[in-house]
Amino acid sequence: MGYFIGLIVVLTGLWLGLSGLYKTLILSLGVVSIILSTILAYRFDILDREGSPYGRLPQLISYWAWLVVEIFKANWVVVKACLRAQLDINPALVKLKTCCESDLARTVFANSITLTPGTVSVTIEGDKILVHALYEEEAHPEAFEEMDRRSRAASDGGRA
Amino acid sequence: MTEIMGILMQIKPVLGAFLCLVGGVLAIIGTVGVLRFPDFYSRLHAASVIDTSAATLAIIGMMLLAPTWLIVFKLGVVWLFLFLTGPTSSHALANAAHTAGVEPLIGRRNGDDEGADS
Amino acid sequence: MIGAAALAFVIAIALMLIRALYGPTLYDRVLAVNSLGTKIILLLGVMGFLLGRPDFLDISVLYALINFVATIAILKFFRYRSFQVPLIRKSGDRQ
């Protein structure tokens, strides 16, 4: 039931923010569309912990703020690699083992790896992630440990 | 306090336009990387610069230029969509290429063998 | 200065078109089209502010959604050669 309420609140906020016209006719159309999309989400059976993860929003937002800083640090390396007169890259495939257990935590972790420039997650099998990195020396498994720990703490809770 | 606010209001449009310009320059840098890098997987890294930092800087710049809060909210929604869908499509591309058997180039590459498309 | 930003995005789009036309494999082309879409989203926003009509942002929200769905649909088609394969995992088999 909490998932329903979270979805309805988020959809209402999105509709009100994107519309900008607050007349009776348009508002009633908005109510109809919100009800319709909630019914569709129920029929698709996607209303679970992953479909509406709004209960853990504060943790996810603080994780995201940390991630944006990391992304800007990693961007600098790739920008330098793009602009160097002589091409000088050292691509590698690295296999990682994650300690995330739930699917949501694994998704958050793999998405953070992909979002960071310089590393892309290629395949996920069980708890092993295959990562393609632009520089081999920056992609040793210890470099991802903190991100792993933080994404697990953000989406599953428990000890960080 | 009011003077500081006045100065901030004067700086705001200039700073916003400057951040948009920085975003545009980063987009050009990412595109140059996509054109230069030798194989598909390393091009993916250059494209993710555009998806993350160019988009973030340009959208923050546009937020500083925005006349009403509604437009700031819309820009925030665009930013959220870009940050949620960008890595998903990058991962889908990498996974599809890996499944189809596109082999990445491994090992240090330097020198100007830029035209050597695999 | 905002005009210069719009010009920079236009140059980036023009350069990316080279990769989309020239790209040796299918995946290079899809990558180029996807990141072309990202830059078009940003260009639409900048053009809105340049012309003094920020309503263009509605179009760029829509473009962001369509761009993502188009990428996934193209990749799915070239992987399975059909749109009829369900992408949803059956509940129960956690991998």
**What are the distances in angstroms from CA C12 to CA B33, C7, C26, C35?**
11, 9, 21, 10
* Distance between CA atoms of residues C66 and C63, nearest Å: 5
3-state secondary structure of C7: helix
Cα distance between residue C21 and residue A75, in whole Å: 27
- Judge residue B64's burial from the number of C-beta atoms within 10 Å of its C-beta, 0-12 exposed, 13-18 middle, 19 or more buried: middle
Residue where the block lists tokens 């790896």: A113
Nearest CA to B19 out of B8, B27, B10 is that of B27
Residue where the block lists tokens 């180029």: C32
Flag whether pLDDT at A158 surpasses 60.
Answer: no
Task: Give a yes or no: residue B47 inside a domain.
Answer: yes
Would residue B116 count as lying in a domain?
Answer: no
**pLDDT tier, C91 (very low <50, low <70, confident <90, very high otherwise):** low
Range of the domain at B12: 7-99
ipTM of this complex: 0.82
Tens of pLDDT, residue by residue over A7-40, are 888 889 888 888 878 888 989 999 999 999 989 9
pLDDT of residue A44: 81
For chain C, percent of residues with pLDDT exceeding 70: 91
A48-62, B17-31, B96-110, range with greatest mean pLDDT: B17-31
| 3-state SS track over A83-145 | HCCCEEEECEEEEEECCCCCHHHHHHHHHHHHHCCCEEEEEEECCEEEEEECEHHHCCHHHHH
Asked, for residue B108, whether it belongs to a domain, the answer is no
Answer for the pair A86, B110: CB distance below 8 angstroms, yes or no.
yes
Query: What pLDDT does residue B53 have?
Result: 87
Stretch A136-160: mean pLDDT? 74
Res C87 pLDDT > 60: yes
Residue in A closest to C59 by C-alpha = A18
CA separation for the pair A137, A135 (Å, rounded): 6
Closest alpha carbon to B54 in C49, C9, C65, A80: C9
Q: Which of B:49-108 have CB within 8 Å of A? A: 49, 51-53, 56, 70, 73-74, 77, 83, 86-88, 90-91, 94-95, 98, 104-108
C95–A126 C-beta distance less than 8 A: yes
pLDDT in tens, B75-112: 898 898 888 888 888 888 888 888 887 777 777 776 65
Q: Do residues B46 and A119 make contact, with C-beta atoms less than 8 angstroms apart?
A: no
Contact A153, A159 (CB under 8 A): yes
Residue A51, pLDDT > 80, answer: no
Which residues have a Cβ under 8 Å from the Cβ of C94 and sit 6 or more positions away?
Answer: A103
Residue B114 lies in a domain: no
Whether B46 maps to a domain, the answer reads: yes
Q: Do B45 and A78 make contact, defined as CB atoms within 8 angstroms?
A: yes
Q: What is the mean pLDDT of chain C?
A: 84
For the stretch B51-76, pLDDT in tens is 888 888 999 998 888 888 888 888 89
Q: Which residues in chain A have Cβ-Cβ distances shorter than 8 Å to B26? A: 79
Q: Residues of C with CB below 8 A from B18's CB?
A: 1
Q: Which residue has the tokens 């959208």?
A: B59
Please give the model's pTM, rounded to 2 decimal places. 0.85
Of A90-94, A125-129, B26-30, give the range with the top mean pLDDT. Answer: B26-30
**Does pLDDT of C92 surpass 70?**
no
Is the pLDDT confidence value at B113 over 80? no
CB-CB neighbors (< 8 A) of A126 in chain C: 95
* Structural domain contains residue B43: yes
